[in-house]
Structure formats: C-alpha cells, structure tokens
Structure 1
Amino acid sequence: MRVVSLVPSLTEAIAVSAPGALAGVTDWCTHPAGLAGVVRIGGTKNPDTAAIAALRPDLVIANEEENRQPDLDALRAAGLQVLVTEIRTLDQAFAELDRVLAGCGVRSRPDWLDAAEAAWADVTPDGPPVTAVVPVWRRPWMVLGRDTFAGDLLARLGVRNLYAGHAERYPRIPLDELNAARPDLVVLPDEPYRFTRDDGPEAFPGAPAALVDGRHLTWYGPSLAEAPRSLARALRAARR
C-alpha cells in the first residue's frame, strides 16, 4: 500500500498506524518527526499534483477543508483514488479516522485511537461555562465561527464560542467589533498563526488569554489522546 497524505494530522495518524505506507506528504506535515524517505509534495493548498501522480500511490488522503477541489479533481483525472474526509466534530473525527486507517490497510484499530476516545469520554467542564473568542489569524483578524472541529472540542470543555452562530465558519471580524465582544477569555492557538500573549490586549482588552497548543485544538490524530488534558490545563490557567 502506497499512500500520499495531504492532511498533516492524518499524516501523523497513518505514520504511526501503518509504518511504511506513506510515499508522499505535504510540507506542513511535521509529525511524527523524521519522516525519512517520504517525498514532500508541496503545501495543502498548492500540492504538486504531477509529482503526486508520479509517485503512483494506491490512495491519496485529503480533507474537504484543508485541500482545494481543483487539486482533487486533477488527481482523480490522473487516475488516482482520492479519499476525502469531512471532520467538523469530534465524533466525525473518530469515524473518519477509522475509515482512513482502514483505507490504508490497517486491519486492527490502533491503541492510540481507543485511548483518544476514552480520554474524551471522561471530559467534564472544569467550572461554570465561559464565553470565548478564538482567533485563527490576524491582519486581518479571523476567528472560529460556526461548525468547526475546534469549536466542538472547546464546547465539550465548557467554552462557548461567541461566534458559533456566525454565518461563516472562519469570519473576518473588524477590530472594533472584537473590542466590543467582551468574552470571558480569548483562546489563542499557536497555529496556523503563532499567537502569543502579546496578541490578546490589542483586540480583547481586559480579557484573560488562554494560550493553547494548536495541534491539540485542531488536529485529529494521535494528539487527541493528550488534547483534553492539555486544553483544560491552559483554560484553567487563564481563568485563575
């Protein structure tokens, strides 16, 4: 089985569950470290489709949010099988991980996936519910809106996203509107934009900042087993 992954978190899941299956990955596939012998085929939004076809993979793994439809169409036109995932909730993540790993020839469910499900099954909010704004970019400011995987994880931890009802999934919000939002806290991940504590006061005066590991907030893979503890710890520190 030869697999090309266009999704960093799914790359990690495949690498640890089907060693040797990966033939190509994106430039953003950073986990696990040392993907020796695996060809880099460009970014998630601009993969080199000709280079992917030249690898002659049995399967290409993609995601409807991470990857662009024209690239997926080009890969299919080259005769490649493309498995496209949709992951907007934790439950979807577990179901799609099962589907991806089965497609990659993994015959038994890996222990890390059982551990991740168990870790999230035990989650209870730490204290009363709080409201939050969750930026994902600045210049312009963009935040989590409706129907996102990260928003679902935070909701399970007792954090209500103030923009969860927005018409867009990742809306651009003017700075004056962010100043007026008055959330209980602001959640600042370190990817895709590497936010720091200094980024909070500009848009969220007076709101405590929870600095979180972006991999634990947005990746669906082995990191899910560590994510509830890591996120809860960051949220708890911000609320003190």
Structure 2
Amino acid sequence: MVLSISVVLITKNAAHSLKACLDSCRFADEVVLVDSGSRDDTIAIANTYGARVIHQDWLGFGPQKQFAVGQARNDWVLCLDADEWLSETLRNEIIGLPRHPQAVAYRFPRCNKFMGRFLRHGEGYPDMSLRLFDRRRARWSDHAVHEYVIADGPVGTLSGDLMHESGEDISVYLAKQNRYTDLQADALFVAGKRVGALKLVSSPLLRFFKFYLVRQGFRDGLPGLVHILIGCFNSFVKYAKLLEKQRLEKKT
C-alpha cells in the first residue's frame, strides 16, 4: 500500500500561481490550505480543487506552517508554497513511497525561476528543501523567516525537482528581500549577535566567491549574476541593519 499524504499550504493572495501547485498534487489524500486573509481568488480556486480551507491570522513563517501541519488528517505531510509545483519525476517518487518508509522525512532539490530562467547553479540550485515528513517525528522551526524542518530521525533524499516559479519582477523581489533582512536583523539582535565592519564587508564578498565561482553561478548567465549579487547585497544590508540596532542600543 502507498503512503497516505496530506498536502499543506499557507497562502495569502496566491491566485496567480495556485492552480499549477494544486494540479501537481492531485494524488494527495487531502489538501489543507491555511489562508491569512486573501482578497483575490485564492479561496475560490482552492474550493474548486476540493481543498479544506482554514483561516489563520499571520503568525510568522515557521509558526504559520506548523499550525497548518497540525490541521492535517494524515501524519505524513507535504508542505508547499503556493508558487511551487512538483515536477513529474518528484511526483512519481512521492507516489511510489511505501506505506511505512524507513526515513522520517525527505528532502529534494528546489529549482528557482528568476528573471524568466530556472537557475541550475550557484545559490539557486539545488537549494535542497526538506518538505515531506512524518509530523510525529519532525516539525517546523519557530523562526519568523528562513524557517526549516527539524527532523528526529533519518532523512531520505529524492532526486526530482520542486519547481519554484514566483513570477515576481525585480522590484517585488527586492521589496520582499527588504522585509526578510528586517526580520533577520531583528532575530540576530534578539539572539545577542553583534557585528563589526569586517563582517559587514567580508560576508557579501565570500558569498559571491562561493556561489558565483565555486558553485558556478556564472553558468546561469545574466539572471544568475543578478540573483547572486542581490543575495550578496542582502547579506550586507542584514548586517548593516544589525549594526544600526547596536548603535541605537548604545545611545539608550
């Protein structure tokens, strides 16, 4: 017998991408969609696919996803974002899992689209993502941003790609990154992390060396270069915001 799986999503105004996501998950026993206040056609689309829709005010990425996991009827959950969809290879691998897997969770590569191109190198790939797990042995972290799954047991690896097609233009992407760096700086400050000029300068430089040269981001052409440079700038901005918080703290 095959593994019974609940697909779990968190959404807000995701109508532009939701259909592709749900189309790729028709094999699932159920789809649970936790929405935090969509004003577009997200709920209507979810209803046409027979998804179970639950409203929950925004809790932060980690807590919101863990809340959604708790609403599933099955213990095995596949957590997706509305702008992600399963490649045929990954879908078939998941369908073929036994009812009692040896692993308590599975990770697989995520292929990110940026500036009209699916990135295959650098920071954009393989972007290994742990999204399929037994909720009795794994859970989402409590992080408000850059959340991750914590697994208590062996983790397996699937080879098929999780496709990520956000459809965002650069201005929207940068706005999102600005919010993320706010959250990252806040989390570092609360954790007692402190930064100086050396970290401010060295972090983006080392990031560029790692992703553009070592991991061959140059092979993704201009989109790969832009993606990595924005990532380097984000690293600089994150620590600049932390430095600002440190200085404000000294004045109080």
* TM-score, normalisation: structure 1: 0.31
- Greater strand share, structure number: 2
* TM-score, normalisation: structure 2: 0.30
- Greater helix share, structure number: 2
Higher relative contact order (CA 8 A, sep 6+): 2
